[in-house]
Structure 1
Amino acid sequence: MQLVVLGLNHRSAPVNVRELFSFDKTEMVEALNHVYEHENVAECVLLSTCNRTELYAVLEDVAEPKQFMLDLLKHLKGAEQWEVDGNWFFLYEGTELMRHVFNVAASLDSLVLGEGQILSQLKMAYITAYSRGLTGPVFNIIFQRAISVGKKVRTVTGIANTPVSVSYAAVNLAEDCLEKPLSEAKVLILGAGEMSELTATHLQAKGVKSIFVSNRTYHKAQALAKRFGGEAVNFNEYIEQAKEADILITSTGAPHYIIDTESAEKIAEGRKHNPIVMIDIAVPRDIDPEVAQVEGVYLFNIDALESVVEANKAQRAKEAEKAKPIIEQAVEEIEQKLQYLSVRPMMVLLRDKAERTRKRELHRAMAKLPEADEKTRKIMDNMSRMIIRKLLREPMIRFGEIAGKEEEQDYWKLFHDMFDLEKEK
């Protein structure tokens, strides 16, 4: 038995290569249906995200596992004719596979350390394979434990507690500065590009219900506002709208300041000096730094946010160190379980034969004691069970000790011959 994972991710291959081997949900289901065509594959799980594709397999011994797995992946992708550079792919076997999947589940192997999406993606990949009968005793143990390890790491460490994207940091900063719950705040977003969309996503996730979007191209403002149940504002009216906002976030890409001290003073005056939080995540900047001097305005720019993000990344890296002992302990425990699996069939054969013998002899003994009451019968039954348990205890312990070792096969042959187990199958 070989435990193997072949994969490529953001560290091993560029995006144009990763795209070639990406599977959407429909493609993944179709691909898994083809696994049954390969007799050497006992179990299989396929994980595919925007940053990684990984094919996990339990193989019946193959001579060149990397080439076999690469050919298998190409077959599942319907790309047997492709010439592929194997250097883009990594291969882990045995213990390293276990360590890798635990690191993936704990998001220690992610592009953004501590991101939460990968755990649900791994869980879905496992469930998809499990529902098609492609996982067995080995991967059921490994992937179920990986999912629990991922949850534990997020619970007992602070790996996911600090924002590591500018847009998310902006939202957290705005929340900290407000004197009211974020869910009650009115937010005006200037710009309708990717950063504005990400910011709106984080705002909505935090419970913000009132979002206004303004952009020089009005239909883009309408499209973004519609996505988040907000309202679009004409670009020449954003100053007036800002007077109603508690938070103003800018990301327009304009080559000059769109809010200077004069316009900031108009906004502050219109708010009767109720504070407004202005967050400038644009490069070049949308808001004149002098606006920070206007009473009632809290201004933060991209530099302030990026310094927060870098500090948070360092904090996540520090918290990630706390996850390593958790993972190593899980690896050790799973190794012990998997070693036991290899000798379990022998244990079952021996135990079953012993149980059949016990029942047969107990039945004969009870036939000679027709006057025995129920209490006596229970005593005899329990006594015979304990005799069998004690007789088998040492062999079972020894089986566990030699599992996975060179002498395992010698023990298999010895016990088969000694107890005539093959005839009992």
Structure 2
Amino acid sequence: MQLVVLGLNHKTAPVDVRERFSITKQAVRNGLSHLDAYEGISEAVVLSTCNRTEVYAVVDDAAEDTETLKQFLFDLTGTEEDIDEYLYDFVDTACIRHLFEVTSSLDSLILGEGQILSQVKDAYAMARTASATSTVLNTLFHRAMKTGKRVRTETRIAYNSVSVSYAAVELARKELGDLSASNALIFGAGKMAELTAQHLVSRGVQKIYVANRHIEKAEELAEEFGGEAVPFEGALKRAPDVDVIVTSTGAPHYVVKPWETQQLMTRRRGRPLFFIDIAVPRDVDPEVGEIKGVTLYNIDALEAVVDAHVEARRREAVEARRIVEEELTAIEARFQYLSLRPLMALLSERCERIRVREVRRARSKLPDLTKQERRQIEHMTRMIVRKILRMPMMKLNASAGTEQEAFYTHAMRALFKLDTIGETESSEERHHHYRYAEQ
């Protein structure tokens, strides 16, 4: 059993590659529900955001099963193009450290941003709903989320942190200067669009137009900020007086195309237009940026936004990494004995069966026992079994991950005749006992 993460992110792949490997929620659900079709992969969680696509998995052997994991990723995205130069994979400790850094926003495009923790929670919840996780990933992701919370509460890494939407508005302000004489059009009505509207209003934008496929959602968002909802189709026809257009939809294709943008620029009579596309997959066709008078930025450009507080957060990142290492040590200690849990469960189960059988025999010979006396016998026999097993269990647990593990495993099986329940079982029966041990 090994832990592996396979993926790509904003550090390894440009947005045009990331968008091709962006995975819809429905595709994730479908893939996880058919996980048993991929030999060697027993658990998986898929994390797909605007800046990363990653598969966390429990595999039999990382060296042999990483190719299967890559095929799983290809099947989720519907593409098999050669992207090895953009992919990374981390195994065991490196995998755990990477996930902890992700949940702590140490691996984010914008250091200290807060959205990633909720995105990890959502990804894990989806995997659990699909029954794609068990003991290992349940343990890992609970600890990862705890680590992310610790970093945010025990450090000031999130203090004055910027979000993607804030960075987008600051980018517009840097290019256009004072926004108080400008109008803005927002494509989308989700959380990112709402945050963008907040920042635009705080920077003095005169009027906000909102376009969304569901017009009622556009109306709700527009009303919140004193703006105006416009039909999604043909939204650019309402944009002659707009200076900034921010796109943040979940569309799988371009929603802003060159021809309609060229028509708009003709009506604007040369007045410049500023696009910020913070969606992945991208909302704006890259050819739009070639049109005279149009400036187009995508999400990768936000990293260059000047942030007065980034140095302070980098100093806080040192403490955040200390917390990550502390949590890493703690979870490794817990994982150390997972490989022996099925054997320990079998041992406990066998001893419990013996105890129950002998108590039953004793009670049949002592029919006059009171209810209180029967409870005392139950308690006494349980304590006897627990104390007898305490030292063997401690020895077995201490051997996990060491050169002595195989010796103690063999000794326990031989001494307590556990081979009849363990190695001679079918793989399905062993899986059943493993699931029992997990519970």
Same fold, TM-score > 0.5, yes or no: yes
* Displacement after TM superposition at 1:193 (Å): 6.4
* Displacement after TM superposition at 1:45 (Å): 0.9
Kindly indicate whether the alpha-carbon contact (under 8 Å) linking 1:40 and 1:62 is maintained by their aligned counterparts in 2. no
Q: How far, CA to CA, are the matches of 1:73 and 1:308 in structure 2?
A: 32
Kindly indicate whether the alpha-carbon contact (under 8 Å) linking 1:166 and 1:309 is maintained by their aligned counterparts in 2. no
Larger Rg: 1
Decide which of 159, 168, 183 is 1:161's aligned counterpart: 159
Question: What residue in structure 2 maps to residue 367 of structure 1?
Answer: 364
Q: How far, CA to CA, are the matches of 2:210 and 2:346 in structure 1?
A: 67
* Displacement after TM superposition at 1:166 (Å): 10
CA-to-aligned-CA distance 1:308-347 (integer Å, 9 cap, x gap): 9533111111122221222112111211221221111111
Decide which of 383, 390, 395 is 1:398's aligned counterpart: 395
Question: What residue in structure 2 maps to residue 48 of structure 1?
Answer: 48
Q: How far, CA to CA, are the matches of 1:66 and 1:210 in structure 2?
A: 48
* Displacement after TM superposition at 1:378 (Å): 3.0
Kindly indicate whether the alpha-carbon contact (under 8 Å) linking 2:41 and 2:65 is maintained by their aligned counterparts in 1. no
Distance 1:204 1:60, change over 3 A: same
Percent of paired sites with the same residue: 43
CA-to-aligned-CA distance 1:393-412 (integer Å, 9 cap, x gap): 00111111111233323322
* Displacement after TM superposition at 1:31 (Å): 2.9
Question: What residue in structure 2 maps to residue 133 of structure 1?
Answer: 131
Question: What residue in structure 2 maps to residue 39 of structure 1?
Answer: 39
Q: How far, CA to CA, are the matches of 2:64 and 2:115 in structure 1?
A: 33
Q: How far, CA to CA, are the matches of 1:122 and 1:106 in structure 2?
A: 11
Q: How far, CA to CA, are the matches of 2:99 and 2:64 in structure 1?
A: 22
Indicate the RMSD between aligned Cα atoms, in angstroms.
Answer: 3.7
Distance 1:392 1:379, change over 3 A: same
Question: What residue in structure 2 maps to residue 149 of structure 1?
Answer: 147
Q: How far, CA to CA, are the matches of 2:62 and 2:240 in structure 1?
A: 65
**2:182 counterpart letter in structure 1:** L
Distance 1:377 1:160, change over 3 A: same
Question: What residue in structure 1 maps to residue 206 of structure 2?
Answer: 213
* Displacement after TM superposition at 1:202 (Å): 4.5
Question: What residue in structure 2 maps to residue 265 of structure 1?
Answer: none
Which structure is richer in relative contact order (CA contacts within 8 A, separation 6 or more)?
2
Distance 1:211 1:314, change over 3 A: closer
Distance 1:76 1:389, change over 3 A: same
Decide which of 110, 113, 120 is 1:112's aligned counterpart: 110
Kindly indicate whether the alpha-carbon contact (under 8 Å) linking 2:4 and 2:90 is maintained by their aligned counterparts in 1. yes
* Displacement after TM superposition at 1:168 (Å): 4.0
Q: How far, CA to CA, are the matches of 1:355 and 1:222 in structure 2?
A: 69
Question: What residue in structure 2 maps to residue 325 of structure 1?
Answer: 322
Decide which of 222, 229, 233 is 1:228's aligned counterpart: 222
Kindly indicate whether the alpha-carbon contact (under 8 Å) linking 2:104 and 2:148 is maintained by their aligned counterparts in 1. yes
Distance 1:46 1:321, change over 3 A: same
Kindly indicate whether the alpha-carbon contact (under 8 Å) linking 2:38 and 2:68 is maintained by their aligned counterparts in 1. no
TM-score by length of 1: 0.69
* Displacement after TM superposition at 1:211 (Å): 7.8
**1:135 counterpart letter in structure 2:** T
Q: Which runs of 5+ in 1 are unaligned?
A: 173-186, 215-220, 237-252, 256-305
Kindly indicate whether the alpha-carbon contact (under 8 Å) linking 2:7 and 2:87 is maintained by their aligned counterparts in 1. yes
Kindly indicate whether the alpha-carbon contact (under 8 Å) linking 1:46 and 1:55 is maintained by their aligned counterparts in 2. yes
**2:349 counterpart letter in structure 1:** D
TM-score by length of 2: 0.67
* Displacement after TM superposition at 1:203 (Å): 7.8
CA-to-aligned-CA distance 1:111-149 (integer Å, 9 cap, x gap): 001111111111111111111111110000001111122
Q: How far, CA to CA, are the matches of 2:76 and 2:401 in structure 1?
A: 31
